Amino acid sequence: MMEPGILFSPTGIKQLGLRNRLAVAPMTRVSATEDGHATERMARYYRRFAEGGFGLVITEGMYTDQAYSQGYLFQPGISSAEQAESWRPVVDAVHAAGGKIVAQLMHAGALAQGNRFRGHTAGPSAVQPKGEQMKFYRGSGPYPVPREMRQEDIEEAAAGFAHSAQRAMDAGFDGVEIHGANGYLLDQFLTRHTNLREDQWGGNTENRIRLHTLVLGAVREALGHRAPVGIRISQAKVNDFSHKWAGEEDDARIVFSALAAAGADYIHVTEFEAWKPAFGTDGPSLLELARRYAPGVALIANGSLHESCRGAEAIAAGADLVAMGRSALANPGLPALLSGGAALAAFDSGLLSPIADIKDIEIGGQGKETPSR
Ligand SMILES: Cc1cc2nc3c(=O)[nH]c(=O)nc-3n(C[C@H](O)[C@H](O)[C@H](O)COP(=O)(O)O)c2cc1C
């Protein structure tokens, strides 16, 4: 069994120093104002993770432009200077508690189910997404068929990421993470059955990963080397949990080496159970494949890693940090609990019901308190 102490050793991503290897995974909580501003409630919510000892907080996905990127009503955005400025109290609260905070930049594409700027959705191809809209984000029924994006829509989307990254720097964030995973716009381009294009954006895997690298390049150009630029990758999607890359390890090689070549400072790899073989019942995990094909790039591992031995194993398999999602919601003081060997509270999905917004109990209104350190 791995020694869990490794989780508490300081680390860094490029120039960003981190007090330990524990990160809060990005989690959409639809608790912004209707016009996408972060709120005081959100500052209190995020602060508790830093107070609880997490070295890094990755925000929920923020929409990046005033065209097709917004996914959910009450989702926060970073599509204007005012929205970016509304994040400053969140950033300050996390910093005051000794944590670092990265802004996740997200374009929902065909999975948008609440966008106040557009009455229809857009994606790589006019293919109806699988599954149903998420009720806990105020959606209902099937997803609409998106409009196929033109070249100028693609360029506008990439520019939205770059401008948002710049605004994130202005608001004091320590870095940005491009949401390239979980079925949202970038992942729609990567996925064969949602991308039927016959131009440079479709066809083989090299073409289907091109939007990730375009966005990475645009963000890098906007930020230079001022702050780390990360990107998140998954096989599974919010509307298709069991999706696997058809080209298996070949696809993994193409994807991870393209992200490394495009200058990603870190890759955030998420799977349901991060230690499981990426394909079939045997063989390396997606994390191990990322380590193999993106040498020298920092890695964040995510997926059911809340037990300290699992987290430590992910570090041994090549991750620099491990990110916790549901277990961080149930235990905002998770690092302090783990280091003290205390039991973790189980995640109760009732917390996200009927709507996934931030609940009073999470911001110290009543009930559980963050353990003192
Ligand atoms: C309520 C909720 C909201 C989420 N929102 C996002 C998001 O905005 N961006 C993202 O990349 N992942 C999002 N995720 C996925 C988590 O980051 C994470 O991958 C997932 O919870 C698995 O990690 P875990 O096993 O530690 O919970 C969300 C998960 C939950 C539970």
Q: Answer yes or no: are the C-beta atoms of 278 and 168 closer than 8 Å.
A: no
Say if domain 4-363 classifies as CATH 3.20.20.70.
yes
With a cut of 90, say whether residue 346 has pLDDT above it: yes
Distance 15 CA to ligand 1 centre (A): 26
Q: Is the CB of 57 under 6 A from ligand 1?
A: no
As a whole number, the mean pLDDT across the chain is 96
Mean pLDDT value across residues 254-277: 98
pLDDT band at 4 (very low <50, low <70, confident <90, very high): confident
- The two beta strands, 147-148 and 266-270, are unpaired
CA distances (Å), 319 to each of 68, 93, 252, 275, 301, in order? 33, 27, 16, 11, 6
Cα angle: 273, vertex 279, 284; to 5 degrees: 75
The minimum-distance atom of ligand 1 relative to the CA of 347 is 27
Domain spans of the chain, in order of start: 4-363
Q: Is 331 in the pocket of ligand 1 (CB under 6 A)?
A: no
322 lines ligand 1 (CB under 6 A): no
Q: Using an 8 Å Cβ cutoff, are 223 and 191 in contact?
A: no
Distance from the alpha carbon of residue 237 to the mean position of ligand 1, in angstroms: 11
According to the model, what pLDDT value does residue 70 have? 98
Whether residue 26 has its Cβ less than 6 Å from ligand 1: yes
Average pLDDT over residues 9-38: 98
- By most ligand atoms within 8 Å of CB, the mutation choice from 28, 45, 273, 358 for ligand 1 is 28
Distance CA 204, CA 201 (A): 9
Annotated catalytic residue: which of 63, 184, 266, 293?
184
User: Using CA of residue 317, residue 318, residue 319, residue 325, what is the dihedral sign?
Assistant: negative
pLDDT tens figures, 101-142: 999 999 999 999 999 999 999 999 999 999 999 999 999 999
Q: Is residue 46 flagged as an active site residue? A: no
Q: Is the CB of 311 under 6 A from ligand 1?
A: no
What is the CA(64)–ligand 1 centre distance, in A?
19
pTM of the predicted protein model: 0.97
